[in-house]
Chains A and B, each alone.
Chain A
Amino acid sequence: MSGHPVAGTASPAVRRRGLIARLARARATKPGEIYGVPGAGDTRLLSIATICVLVFVWWLVTAMGWVKPLFVPSPQAIVGSFVSILQNGYTGEPLWVHVGISTARVFGAFLLACLVGIPLGLAMGISPIARGIFDPPIEFYRPIPPLAYLPLMIIWFGIGETSKVLLIFLSVFAPVALGARSGVRSAAIEQIHAAYSFGATRWQVLVRVILPAAMPEILTAMRIGIGFGWTTLVAAEMVAATSGIGYMVLSASQFLQTSVVIMGIIVIAAIAYMFDLLMRLLERRLVPWKGRM
């Protein structure tokens, strides 16, 4: 209290005015909202504004010539290189071929990882034998960056598609398998006991109770997994690739075509984002009950 200019003359609430005071104390909410929910409120407008400001600053910096185009090309240059590659292709291949090849690599590896990883993860969740066998190898390789074992992949499987798809597969496999494994625990013991008390066999409990209950976590794991897949794509296309969006970015960087590099990054981001939207839609359709029971 002592030392404060108006100490003793006003209550603390009156003393603290202005923006800081308003941020420090929550106000009563309008009816229909819940008081004190962390992070409540719509963010869309603010997000759009942020994007606009970032693009504007980017444009300003390049238009004023504060940074050389070699380092940061202008937004127009990115659009230009997109249109030009769309029309003329890159290194003799049209843009859609690059996009198509990369998408096929990522999704091929992703599907493969789901086909192997989900059953294996479920097996690890329900069987101590499967868990005992597969836990050490998965936990061993999971934290290793794919770039570290890329050379091994090439030594073992050559420079063809196998090593590329396998590298992406490995990066997707671990999160998907571990997600399915922990999803097994989502079924409440009451749900399992009820099924048994209606005469279910162990297989029926697995298929009719444990698997559906694990679906939310499996779908989340798939979303995380495909993210890892896109992350690993560029690494996979670093060696001996002649097409693909990752190859395009890397080869453009060697020729200092920065606008192509940025354009490629944006294309990857756009595809990954669209797939994430698709997965969220799928989640709403398949598990509308998520978190509600």
Chain B
Amino acid sequence: MSLQIIDASVVYPGLRGRPPTEALHSVNLTVETGEFVVVLGASGCGKSTLLNLVAGFISPSSGSVLLDGQPVQGPGADRSVVFQKHALLPWLTVRDNVAFGLSLQGRPRTERYSISHRFIELLGLSGFEDAPVYTLSGGMQQRVGIARALTCDPKLLLLDEPLGALDALTRERAQELILRVWDRSGKSVLLITHSVEEALFMGTRLIVMSPRPGRITHTFDLSFSRMFLAGQTARAVKASADFIALREQVLQIIFADEEDAA
């Protein structure tokens, strides 16, 4: 798997006489198999536009988005998305939500359920297969969303602020869970977040974006997730001197952008 974004720009037309806004300005980004790329930035920096571009919901105004050399024409099961909230189907049980993508592909029921059973277990949802999703807590609902995206066996998993609506403790647990799932599945991941700590902890590569026009300004290679997966506790990783130093450096970049805007 290889995702290539080459010199991509996205320009939104100006409404009611306003000038058009350039949400993304000549973005270049490559994601290879097994990478965990995190996109971080102040609000309005175009990180959601970037994800929508990769998902295929919007097409670039110029430049190109290639998946394994083929231009992305629209959304597809090779790039399944996990949203922040409101994306589960409340009329289906946990099992049928997880199997939803497979059922869209017309797979027979036994195959659907045996595949989803694996991901229900992986995400720690065993015992809740028949529960309606609206009875679950926010954290469990997000796990259903992640399991559902994984059953589609995507080449690239797109996470659009998936933990943004969770409380702080649940969020840290979910970060650890996602890292373990990523480690075991070997998938490529593109994560959008506005939490610096989350970005540093989870990614193998960090992309920092700046607004007006939205563009990539900094790139950092990260090794903190490897430290966690090698056996260190999450808090120990996040409290290490390297982590804190980088966190402050990245925060300064983002705060500078916010001040420019104000």
Which residues on A are within 8 Å of B, measured CB to CB? 188, 190-191, 193-200, 204, 208-209, 212-213, 215, 287-289, 292-293
Contact = CB atoms under 8 A, between A and B. Distances in A.
A123 B86 CA distance: 24
B104 A195 contact: yes
Describe B's contact surface by its main secondary structure: loop
- Size bin of chain B's contact surface: 20 to 34
A188 B87 contact: yes
Interface in B76-122: 76-77, 79-81, 83-91, 100-101, 104-105
B83 A190 contact: yes
B91 A190 contact: no
B57 interface: yes
A209 B89 contact: yes
B104 A289 contact: no
Contact of A193 (B75, B90, B101, B152): B75
**Residue with the highest number of chain B CB atoms closer than 10 Å, among A193, A197, A289:** A197
Interface string B145-163: 1001100100000100000
B77 A199 contact: yes
Nearest to B57: A193
B52 to A, nearest CB: 9
Interface string B135-177: 0000000000100110010000010000000000000000000
B70 to A, nearest CB: 15
B94 to A, nearest CB: 13
Contacts of A215: 91
Nearest to A288: B132
A194 B87 contact: yes
Given A193-B57, A292-B134, A198 B100 contact: yes
B55 interface: yes
Given A197-B75, A197-B77, A191 B87 contact: yes
Contacts of A288: 132
B67 interface: no
Contact of A289 (B101, B134, B149): B134
B104 A200 contact: yes
7 contacts: A188-B86, A191-B86, A193-B87, A197-B79, A200-B104, A208-B104, A293-B133
Contacts of B84: 190
Interface in B48-76: 55-57, 74-76
Interface in B196-238: none
A199 B152 contact: yes
A193 B82 CA distance: 10
Interface in B240-256: none
A167 B242 CA distance: 77
Contacts of B152: 198-199
A293 B75 contact: no
A293 B86 CA distance: 7
B153 to A, nearest CB: 11
B101 A190 contact: no
